[in-house]
Chain A
Amino acid sequence: EPEVTQTPSHQVTQMGQEVILRCVPISNHLYFYWYRQILGQKVEFLVSFYNNEISEKSEIFDDQFSVERPDGSNFTLKIRSTKLEDSAMYFCASSEGRHSPLHFGNGTRLTVT
């Protein structure tokens, strides 16, 4: 069964550094998403992306964050100048249509030290 893949599975970075989290959505899916889960807290929506532009973003998704689909297969989340509170599990998801079920990747655990 096709799946969403995320790399790396664990990323450790120093405060102030930039990180790029990578995702390969399911190939025929058109809608892409990033969610995050701070340890012990809820899974939170960050951003949705369709047709090469952001379709919706949460208040968490400020200027520190950006997303990009650099080619036909990858979908990336860039976090500039990371802060300690950015430490979380980041989940990528994709869906075939606007109201289709989301398929999630295994997540990237980001640790900011």
Chain B
Amino acid sequence: GDSVTQMEGPVTLSEEAFLTINCTYTATGYPSLFWYVQYPGEGLQLLLKATKADDKGSNKGFEATYRKETTSFHLEKGSVQVSDSAVYFCARLHTGGGNKLTFGTGTQLKVEL
């Protein structure tokens, strides 16, 4: 079935460090892929998305490229800030239509001064 696997956290970085959070998905069809972010005390917010192979989603300095050959959608940011501290969720659209999302377990990011 559909699944998403992302690296476990917490990930702790110093401000201005480079961030990578790995995400892979099961290769059933060519699903749309998403990164959601959850800041403390808030709901899930869509960070970026990609709908087909080789698409690059980007927002707020974050990027992720849809890699069909490696079934991956790794999240990257060149220089993180303390305000980026949050939980990041990778998700894929369920095969078969509709708008059902399958989420990864989430990766907590802590950015320190």
Contacts and interface: CB of A to CB of B under 8 A. Distances in A.
17 contacts: A6-B43, A33-B99, A33-B100, A43-B91, A45-B94, A45-B100, A48-B98, A56-B98, A56-B100, A91-B43, A91-B44, A98-B98, A100-B99, A101-B46, A102-B101, A104-B36, A105-B43
A57 B43 CA distance: 22
B100 A43 contact: no
Interface residues of A, number: 26
Given A42-B104, A43-B103, A45-B94, 20 more contacts: A4-B43, A35-B101, A35-B103, A41-B105, A43-B44, A44-B103, A45-B100, A48-B99, A55-B98, A56-B98, A56-B100, A91-B43, A91-B44, A98-B97, A102-B46, A103-B46, A104-B43, A104-B44, A106-B42, A107-B43
Contact of A106 (B43, B46, B91): B43
A7 interface: no
B108 to A, nearest CB: 11
Nearest to A100: B99
Nearest to A98: B99
Interface in B61-113: 89, 91, 94, 97-106
Contacts of A56: 98, 100
Contacts of B41: 106
B50 to A, nearest CB: 12
Contacts of A93: 44
A75 interface: no
Nearest to B4: A42
Interface string A75-113: 000000000000000010101001111111111000000
